[in-house]
Amino acid sequence: MTLLVATDEAGYGPRLGPLVIVATAWRLAAGCDITTADQMLRTPLQIDNIGSFHIDDSKRIFKRAKAHSESSASISSIDRITDAVAHWVSLPIPSVDMAKWLREVAADDFESLIKQPWFQSLAAKPSVASSNDSSADPTTAALVRHWSSGGWQLAGIAARVIDVARFNAMLDRAGNKADLLSDSTCDLAIKLANRVYDASDRSVIIQSDRFGGRAYYAGLIQHHCAEYNVQVLAESNQVSSYRLTDSIEPTVRPQSIDWSFTVGGDSFPPVAMSSIIAKSTRERLMGLLNRYFQMQTASDPKLGENLKPTAGYTVDANRFLSEISAYRIAAGIDDQILIRKK
């Protein structure tokens, strides 16, 4: 069988909020064609009274609700898709228990995340799963049947959810955020590949969206895969491809991995699915951040309860920071935990 790991991120550019990187692992059933399997992920599924669902770059299919809050974000198509893929691999459903979802997919980041005042509600005792648990949702079942009918089977999901405090600390070490993203993505991808690998996986592929204008990744891959010999297959304006080989017994880890970084890689459905999960996870966390500051500034005579939420991008982030400045000063909130350096 073919094992594929696909990666993408959400929140690379904003000034506020976490950087979320997601890797998804897929297996193509024996006898199935990748083109056909991809097409089934890409083909829209219309569900009566719900809407049409298709897999594409999250930036193209996401529509931000007018009231950016946890409740409004819960009805978006990318959240429904993320709930469905979580169910597909028997992970906690984000719309039912966001904290449990994060503990499972981003275990290395959860304790740092909940140190931020706006995310501390995630540390509260989990609530009992309610009737809206997507494990019993017909939409979820329909989506999973549709996606899997082409031959791809989802095998695992892993994430990095890097809060601002950790982002700034990592940036100090990395030097720039492009290297921070590259390093974190490669580490996440190879760890997931090794975690889900089985000796029956005759072909192992890692597919990543290219990071900005970077075209050379051999040294980065070698750093994270020291046990492999890294061969450059192509380094062009559109794609950078590498073959990793190792003589170790294949029951331990893959003997060979083909790894590609492609411009517009999120047009490839498994990469797009990683993009959707990353975007959904970040939007939910931004909902918590916005709600926290809306509650804290509700008594402000200038704002009342009318603090406009932010998605965290520079211009609007500056507006948001200006409006909450009185509270930030009074509460002694350190910029280091709220505002990214770059």
Query: What is the identity of the amino acid at 149?
Result: S
Q: Is residue 302 part of a domain?
A: no
Q: How many domains is the chain partitioned into structurally? A: 1
Question: In whole angstroms, what is the distance from residue 225 CA to residue 166 CA?
Answer: 24
HSE at residue 314, side-chain half, CA atoms within 13 A, is: 4
Q: Is residue 102 part of a domain?
A: yes
Question: In whole angstroms, what is the distance from residue 290 CA to residue 123 CA?
Answer: 17
Q: Is residue 282 part of a domain?
A: yes
Q: Is residue 53 part of a domain?
A: yes
Per-residue pLDDT for the chain (342 aa), expressed as one digit of tens each? 789 999 999 999 999 999 999 999 999 988 888 888 999 999 999 988 888 888 877 777 776 555 444 443 346 889 999 999 999 999 999 999 999 999 999 999 999 999 999 999 999 755 555 434 555 588 899 999 999 999 999 999 999 999 999 999 999 998 889 999 999 999 999 999 999 999 888 889 999 988 777 889 999 999 999 999 999 999 998 999 999 998 777 777 888 999 999 988 778 899 999 999 999 999 999 999 999 999 999 888 777 668 999 999 999 999 999 999 999 999 999 999 999 998
Strand order in the sheet with 256-262: 152-162, 19-28, 2-10, 203-209, 256-262, 239-245, 229-235
Q: Are 337 and 165 in contact (CB under 8 A)?
A: yes
Q: Is residue 318 part of a domain?
A: no
pTM for the model stands at 0.92
Question: In whole angstroms, what is the distance from residue 141 CA to residue 87 CA?
Answer: 9
Q: Is residue 308 part of a domain?
A: no
Question: Length of the chain in residues, anyone?
Answer: 342
Q: Give the angle subtended at the CA of 198 by the CAs of 194 and 202, to the nearest 5°.
A: 105
Question: In whole angstroms, what is the distance from residue 202 CA to residue 256 CA?
Answer: 9
Q: Is residue 300 part of a domain?
A: no
Asked whether the CA dihedral 264, 270, 271, 274 is positive or negative, the reply is: positive
Q: Name the residue range of residue 272's domain.
A: 2-286
Residue 333 corresponds to which tokens in the numbers above?
Answer: 């909130």
Question: In whole angstroms, what is the distance from residue 119 CA to residue 285 CA?
Answer: 8
Q: Is residue 310 part of a domain?
A: no
Q: What is the CATH number of the domain that holds 73?
A: 3.30.420.10
